[in-house]
Amino acid sequence: MNYQVTTPIAAFVLRVSLGILFIAHAALKIFVFTLPGAAEFFQSIGLPGSMAYLITLLELVGGGALVIGFYGSWFALPLALDLLGAVVTVHGKNGWVFSNKGGGWEYLALWIVALIVQFLVGDGAWSMKSSPLKLGRT
């Protein structure tokens, strides 16, 4: 059952929560690991170091877009791909449970599903500019 009154509010809560998480995730790369340190880590796992800068930018811009609701649901898909990349390159080999050494992929899987849900339900209430995609959205 879809509650027409509360569904847009639920989409808003999900959107803002995901956005804040991504801004915090990018801030971790910037202020704790530093961007050069993140680039060095990316290189250590066989990825171009410049990718760390692009991923951080995606997380900052995408997180901000989610928070303010400016085509936020469209940013959900590239952000989900960002996390899928983290599963494939880093966390997948550490097993399922995120508390495993090096962090498993359990938490990232939940985050990916939440991003897909965000894309499907749209930006919800109090968004600046919603997605033009019409999949039966109200």
Percent of residues in the chain assigned helix, strand, coil, to nearest 5: 70, 0, 30
Which residue carries 């590239």 as its tokens? 78
**Quick check: pTM over 0.85?**
yes
Specify if 13 maps to a domain.
yes
Q: Could you read off the pLDDT of 109-122 as tens digits, one per residue?
A: 999 999 999 999 99
Beta bridge partners of 129: 70
What is the span of the domain harbouring residue 79?
7-121
Residue range 43-86, pLDDT digits in tens = 999 999 999 999 999 999 999 999 999 999 899 999 999 999 99
Read off the pLDDT band of 137 (50, 70, 90): very low
Burial class (CB in 10 A: 0-12, 13-18, 19+), 122: buried
* Within-domain flag for 133: no
Specify the number of domains making up the chain: 1
